[in-house]
Every structure is written in structure tokens, then in C-alpha cells.
């Protein structure tokens, strides 16, 4: 099964259809498959190149290089540790994936898809540079290939990896697939929505009418119209610095 659930990548109906390209993502209908295609096509053709594992210590992960042409599958190495005072656990070996300076990392955990209201079959972890907001990291061009506006929030290279289990601290590595990529993109868009829709204070001035032009993602995922009337008002923000993932706070 694509992600261990057997459900459609875009909704919670049974996934009775399988993508003919990657044979990984499942869909309930041609409509859901068509809706997923703008995102899915970025990794569909390369998934089958990552079916043969190079060694027992490697798991399939998704890499978002800062200056790359788009996200891509990679084999990420894990090292296992079996200490007397701790249960067995595995740690990823990032090397220079996040930068030549081998920076400290911050982890963003994804164990549910809030858009389709589904608990995931395992935990997805986004490993990012812990200081990417302040260390001069450039906007991530690979994320921008998914959605241009997301590239300004996520800076520096980062890696998405899988760990078995949810809700608790996951300890054993797991492979990611194309449906996981869908969950990651949905989470990136949610993070973007929360970052730019946080509460504001010191509201001043009268409201004026404006028009919001919704992107295809907002139209397809959130069900918004192409053009939407909104009330606009000048205010001062008390939100967190631009580019910081919401779940890191």
C-alpha cells in the first residue's frame, strides 16, 4: 500500500486505483488523481529508481536542496544505537545534506494530515537548519517548484524522513513514498497558512473591500473560489519572524 493506509492520497475514501507511473500512490477516482498530479508529477517518474535498497542501513527519504531543480528521492543512511539505559533507536546521518557547515538541526514532526483529517501510518520528520531564519540561508528553490510562495518561508536545504510509529518519540526508520510527499506538501501549505494568518494587534484604520486571488492549491485543497471578497485593514503584526515553521514554536 502507498502509505500503509490503502486510502486515496487526496481524501479518506478507499484507494481503488494505483498510479500507473510509480505504482505507489493510490486514488479513489480519476478526479482525485488529476487534482494530485501537479504535485505528484514532481516525484512520480523517479520513484521506481529507488526500489532497490543499497544496504540495510538506508531508507528512502525526500531531499529539498536549497538551489536544486526540485525535490527528489534519496537513500538516507541511518545508524542504530542499542545502549544499556535506552531502548534501541536509529539516527539519520545527514552529512552535508543541510549544508557544508553540517549545521545543528531542528525537527518538525508530521503524524497527521490536517487537510484530509487523517492520522498517518508513520511519522514524517522534516529536518531543517536550526538557524535558517537568521544565518543567511537562501529561499529553498526546490520547495518553490511545488509552490512558489512556499519557497520564501522555507530556507536552506532540508530533508524529509520517515520513522515508524506516531504520537510518541519514533525510534526506528522507515521509507517514504509518493503519498508521503503529498502529506508533506499539505503540511508545508498549512505551515504557510498559519504563519501568514497569525493574530495581529494594534489594529488601526477603517476596513476596505479587497479581492483575494486564490492559487490553484487553495482552490483545490481548501475549496476556495478563484476570486474571493475580503475585508482589508492596516495593522501591526505580532506574529513570528517570516520563514519560521509554525510547529517549531
Indicate if 180 and 211 belong to the same structural domain: no
Residues 140 and 216 occupy one common structural domain: no
Number of domains in the chain: 2
Q: Report d(CA 222, CA 149) in Å as an integer.
A: 16
Q: Give the model's pLDDT for residue 82.
A: 84
The domain of 67 spans 51-195
Is residue 13 a part of any domain in this protein? no
Q: Which residue, chain included where needed, has cell 531531499?
A: 63
* Residues 141 and 219 occupy one common structural domain: no
186 & 111 share domain: yes
Which segment of 150-164, 177-191, 198-212 scores lowest on mean pLDDT? 198-212
Q: How confident is the model at residue 204 (pLDDT cuts 50, 70, 90)?
A: low
Establish if 94 belongs to a structural domain. yes
- Shared domain for 81 and 58, answered yes or no, is yes
pLDDT higher than threshold 60 for residue 14: yes
User: Mapped to the 3 state alphabet, what secondary structure does the chain carry?
Assistant: CCCCCCECCCCCCECCEECCCCCCCEECCHHHHHHHHHHHHHHHCCHHHHCCCCCCCEEEEEEECCCCCCCEEEEEEEEEECCCCCCCEEEECCCCCCCCCCCCEEEEEEEEECCCCEEEEEEEEEEEECCCCCCCCCECHHHHHHCHHHHHCCECCEEEEEEEECCCCCCCEECCCHHHHHHHHHHHHHHHHHHCCCCEECCCCCCEEEEEECCHHHHHHCCCCCEEEEEECCCEECCCCCCCCHHHC
> 129 and 103 share a domain?
yes
Asked if the structure places residue 29 within a domain, the reply is no
The answer, yes or no, to whether residue 241 has pLDDT greater than 90, is no
Given a cut of 70, whether residue 235 has pLDDT beyond it is no
- Are 222 and 182 within one domain? no
What's the confidence (pLDDT) of residue 194? 76
Residue 36 lies in a domain: no
Same domain, 230 and 188: no
Nearest 5°: CA angle at 93, between 246 and 119? 45
171 within some domain: yes
- Residue 219 maps to a domain: yes
Average pLDDT over residues 100-119: 92
163 and 216 both lie in a single domain: no
7 part of a folded domain: no
In-domain check, residue 124: yes
Q: Which three cell numbers stand for residue 81?
A: 544505537
Residue 235 · residue 201 · CB < 8 Å: yes
Identify whether residues 138 and 104 lie together within a single domain: yes
Do residues 69 and 130 both lie within one domain?
yes
What average pLDDT does range 6-14 have in this prediction? 93
Q: Sorting pLDDT into bands at 50, 70 and 90, what band is 237? A: very low
**Predicted pLDDT at 229:** 87
Same domain, 70 and 168: yes
Q: What is the pTM of this model?
A: 0.79
Question: What pLDDT does 133 receive?
Answer: 82
Amino acid at each position: 500500500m502507498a502509505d500503509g493506509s490503502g486510502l486515496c492520497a487526496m481524501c479518506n475514501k478507499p484507494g481503488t486505483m494505483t498510479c500507473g507511473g510509480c505504482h505507489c500512490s493510490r486514488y479513489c477516482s480519476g478526479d482525485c488523481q488529476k487534482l494530485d498530479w501537479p504535485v505528484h508529477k514532481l516525484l512520480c517518474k523517479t520513484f521506481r529508481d529507488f526500489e532497490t535498497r543499497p544496504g540495510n542501513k538506508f531508507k528512502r527519504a525526500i531531499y529539498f536542496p536549497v538551489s536544486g531543480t526540485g525535490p527528489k528521492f534519496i537513500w538516507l543512511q541511518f545508524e542504530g544505537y542499542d545502549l544499556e539505559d535506552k531502548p534501541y533507536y536509529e539516527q539519520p546521518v545527514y552529512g552535508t545534506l543541510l549544508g557544508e557547515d553540517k549545521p545543528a538541526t531542528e525537527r518538525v514532526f508530521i503524524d497527521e494530515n490536517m487537510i484530509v483529517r487523517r492520522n498517518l501510518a508513520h511519522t514524517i520528520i522534516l529536518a531543517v537548519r536550526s538557524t535558517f531564519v537568521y544565518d543567511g540561508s537562501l529561499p529553498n528553490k526546490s520547495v518553490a517548484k511545488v509552490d512558489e510562495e512556499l519557497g520564501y518561508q522555507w530556507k536552506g536545504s532540508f530533508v524529509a524522513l520517515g520513522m515508524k510509529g506516531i504520537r510518541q518519540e519514533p525510534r526506528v526508520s522507515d521509507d517514504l513514498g509518493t503519498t508521503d510527499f503529498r502529506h508533506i506538501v499539505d503540511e508545508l501549505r498549512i505551515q504557510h497558512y498559519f504563519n501568514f494568518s497569525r493574530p495581529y494587534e494594534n489594529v488601526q484604520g477603517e476596513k476596505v473591500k479587497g479581492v483575494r486571488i486564490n492559487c490553484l492549491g487553495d482552490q483545490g485543497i481548501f475549496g476556495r473560489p478563484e476570486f474571493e471578497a475580503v475585508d482589508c485593514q492596516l495593522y501591526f503584526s505580532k506574529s513570528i519572524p517570516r520563514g519560521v515553521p509554525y510547529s517549531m514554536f
